[in-house]
Structure 1
Amino acid sequence: MDTNSQSHGEPSLVFDSLDIDLVVKVLSHTAYSPFFLFLLPVFFFFQGHKLDDPPILITSAYFVLVSFFWLLKWYARLYRNQGSLLFGPGAVDWGEQIVLITGGASGVGELLANTLAVRNVTVVVLDIKPIVTENYNITYYKCDITKWEEVEAVAKKVIEEVGHPTVLVNNAGVVQGKLILDLSPEDVKQTFNVNTLAHFWTLKAFLPEMIKNKSGHVVTTASVGGIVGMAQMTDYNASKAAVISLHESLRYELDKRYHAPYIRTSLIVPGHILTPLFSTTHFPSSWLFRFCFPSLEPITVAKAIIAVLDEQHSQTVYLPFYANFTPLLPLLPSFLRDLAQWFSGADHAMNSFIKVSGRREDEGPVSDLSRHSKSE
């Protein structure tokens, strides 16, 4: 094979699959793993170094520092979940769980529903469109979750026909992708109805039984957009910021007012996911950008949610790795904040956005809109 025939502008398959998340994953099992680091001073000792030699002192100090970090992280998680120092939560009996997913007919919700169903979990999907599945243990209910009366009526049917959900995954979402002055009142209402108010309606419908049983798990899907601002995303980001605040307040109400601290509340904060919702966004195509700001496959998010449910711990999950730093951005000086915004390409990602998912009747089909935009 002629190696010179490959274009310099086309990265190899190896580099295509390499991103910062993979690097961090490797480091977490090596350079940031106390179990691995413990072996380093031992290795130098058996190489003939004395205990006060620099190689042993440096590696030992680094081992203690990393171990302290992991111990602090472990204790914080233990405290948040009212855990015991000796005993963690038992394994999930998936056969006893009823998982209700909003927006489960497509994207992450569909993958999550089908993946759980393979585990023989009873899954309930609420959506305005039916889910395409061959799994017998997925029950679909047509429901406009933006309307309390409809959620209340469907909830009664779910409880009567399937049972009380033990896990609630508020996953449904919609995005308009317009500048603030281009947003119609219907656009703003739809965004907040789906992304925010629907969470209130499902909680009002299904949380009482969880409180009664002092157990359950509420998973809230938010977005990095709920933490940092982006152009052409004002309504979406505001709705996700409200959801993050709802999640935080719900935790304290359950802990302090309803005296139900064992109801787990987990928050998923993803970046860009490769679903129809954001299929027409455009980001820089450079290798460096893809390395630092990789887009998420829907299955990655679905697996993260399942891992949260498996662990039975309340937690906040940021995906991908860069999302962990978004809470720090508002603390930066404005010039550094703007530099990060420029590098992320967030303010121009929606320039040619076309709404594909969640279109209302008054918006017309996507094909008509596409032809219209081409004719212009």
Structure 2
Amino acid sequence: MDAPEESVNTVQISDFWDPLYDSFDVDLIMKVLAHTLFSPFFTFFVPIFYIFHGAGLTDAVVVVPALFNLSLCAFWFLKWYSRLYRNQGSLLFGPPRLDWGDELVVITGGSSGIGELVANTLAVRHVCVVVLDVNPIITENNNITYYKCDVSKWEDVERVSKQVVEELGHPTMLINNAGVVQGKPILDLSPEDVQQTFSVNTLAHFWTLKAFLPEMIKNGKGHIVNVSSVAGMVGMARLTDYGASKAALVSLHESLRYELDHVYNARGVRTTLLITGHIMTPLFSSVRHPKSLFYKFFFPSMAPVDVAKNIIAALDEQHSRVLYMPFYAHFVPLLHIMPSYIRDLAQWLTQCDYSMKDFVKVSGRRPEEGPAPVVPTLRGKSD
């Protein structure tokens, strides 16, 4: 979501870092519960503990925890089997360990934000990384090769893709990370605004897929990562164009998965969709969030490094899947089937219809828009 393709080099992620966002929140609680109260391994010992203290096998203190443990086992098994089914996996054997030395990873919008973090992290692992961006990436890693490319234009993508193949070989992984946001009400959007949003956020994915997917299909393996947003699953004021462009990625991801399965017979080409909330990158640096502890606890903003780690972990697991970040993102799709008053309550609690009220576009500014203005940091604006 927050991964600008056309970045502003003078803006650093550290400028927007606020320690308050790296604190106690619902995501931390759920991580702890997943390894304790909702862990089949942990809860297995609860009824055994009572048996060792003299309780009978039919006593409630033994039966209830035992049933709870069986329910957890069934839940986690079905969840895991669902992923194995999607990825033609085995219950007994995992996929072969990924040899990163054989991979060539293309990252769009990789000169700043999440893309830059992923590129540098993979380069440290001695992975060959290709960054496509209109601005050069500033890095000391020799494993990163930069190509100036406006991924919103098919001519640019076609030209650069041929250059990449000639110089480095065929990419095995593609991270469609580029993005731009205007932050305007629909009637204030100029034709150029709308064109840029859909060209960068949506059409660029089609161009990179057309350029790099054929060889993956031919080899029967590869991995495509598409970065979407919760804004693509639920409407928000001043994000009509952005939300629509990200919603298109959700449909693109699903259709691509079934085309790979049933049209191209390339089940080994993995597809990962990342649906995120607010990430602390320059793209959304001037977003205003409620200051209440309630909001910070249930709707935390994410550090870019956490998102980058999840992208790399998804590539490492070699599984097709949908990743929701943070925890509340799992429930966003349910809003469509909720009564209208529940939906409006959710909009009011998150204040999402007002967060873009004073938004200032920093990343992806077109020449006619002039240089990026000085934007207050998240510390003073959104805490």
TM bracket (short chain): over 0.9
Residue 159, structure 1, aligned to residue 165, structure 2 = yes
Larger-gyration structure (1/2): 1
Q: Which residue of 2 aligns with 1:199?
A: 205
Q: Which residue of 1 aligns with 2:137?
A: 131
Q: Is residue 40–residue 72 contact of structure 2 (8 Å, CA) maintained in 1?
A: yes
Q: Deviations over 1:119-164 (max 9, x none)?
A: 1111000000000100000000000101111100100110111111
Residue 227, structure 1, aligned to residue 247, structure 2 = no
Q: Which residue of 1 aligns with 2:266?
A: 260
Give the Å deviation of 1:289. Answer: 0.5
* Counterparts of 1:95 and 1:83, CA distance in 2: 23
* Counterparts of 1:182 and 1:298, CA distance in 2: 30
1:46-61 matches, within 5 Å, as 46-61=52-67
* Counterparts of 1:369 and 1:314, CA distance in 2: 38
Question: Given residue 358 of structure 2, which amino acid in structure 1 is its aligned partner?
Answer: S
User: Which runs of 5 or more structure 1 residues have no equivalent in the other structure?
Assistant: 1-12, 371-376
Which of 66, 73, 79 is matched with 1:67 structurally? 73
Q: Which residue of 2 aligns with 1:5?
A: none
Q: Is residue 285–residue 375 contact of structure 2 (8 Å, CA) maintained in 1?
A: no
Residue 336, structure 1, aligned to residue 342, structure 2 = yes
* Counterparts of 1:123 and 1:253, CA distance in 2: 27
Q: Deviations over 1:290-345 (max 9, x none)?
A: 00000010001000001101100000000000001011111100000000111011
Q: Which residue of 1 aligns with 2:190?
A: 184
Give the Å deviation of 1:87. Answer: 1.6
The TM-score, its normalising length taken from structure 1, stands at 0.94
Residue 83, structure 1, aligned to residue 83, structure 2 = no
Residue 358, structure 1, aligned to residue 364, structure 2 = yes
Q: Deviations over 1:27-83 (max 9, x none)?
A: 000011101010111111111111111110010010011111001101110110011
* Counterparts of 1:301 and 1:72, CA distance in 2: 26
Q: Deviations over 1:213-243 (max 9, x none)?
A: 0000000000000000000000000000001
Cα 1:21–1:147 change in 2 (3 A) is same
Question: Given residue 179 of structure 1, which amino acid in structure 2 is its aligned partner?
Answer: P
Find the residue that maps to 2:373 and give its secondary structure. Answer: helix
* Counterparts of 2:174 and 2:89, CA distance in 1: 22
The TM-score, its normalising length taken from structure 2, stands at 0.92
* Counterparts of 1:197 and 1:55, CA distance in 2: 58
1:1-376 matches, within 5 Å, as 17-367=23-373
Q: Which residue of 2 aligns with 1:10?
A: none
* Counterparts of 2:176 and 2:374, CA distance in 1: 31
* Counterparts of 1:60 and 1:274, CA distance in 2: 43
Cα 1:318–1:15 change in 2 (3 A) is closer
Give the Å deviation of 1:85. Answer: 2.4
Question: Given residue 113 of structure 1, which amino acid in structure 2 is its aligned partner?
Answer: A
* Counterparts of 1:93 and 1:314, CA distance in 2: 18
**Over aligned residue pairs, what C-alpha RMSD do you find?**
1.4
* Counterparts of 1:264 and 1:16, CA distance in 2: 31
Question: Given residue 253 of structure 1, which amino acid in structure 2 is its aligned partner?
Answer: E
* Counterparts of 1:263 and 1:327, CA distance in 2: 26
Q: Percent identity?
A: 63
User: Which runs of 5 or more structure 2 residues have no equivalent in the other structure?
Assistant: 1-18, 377-383
Give the Å deviation of 1:96. Answer: 0.4
* Counterparts of 2:163 and 2:134, CA distance in 1: 16
Q: Deviations over 1:185-231 (max 9, x none)?
A: 00000000000000000000000000000000000000000000000
Give the Å deviation of 1:14. Answer: 9.3
Q: Which residue of 2 aligns with 1:3?
A: none
Alignment size in residue pairs: 358
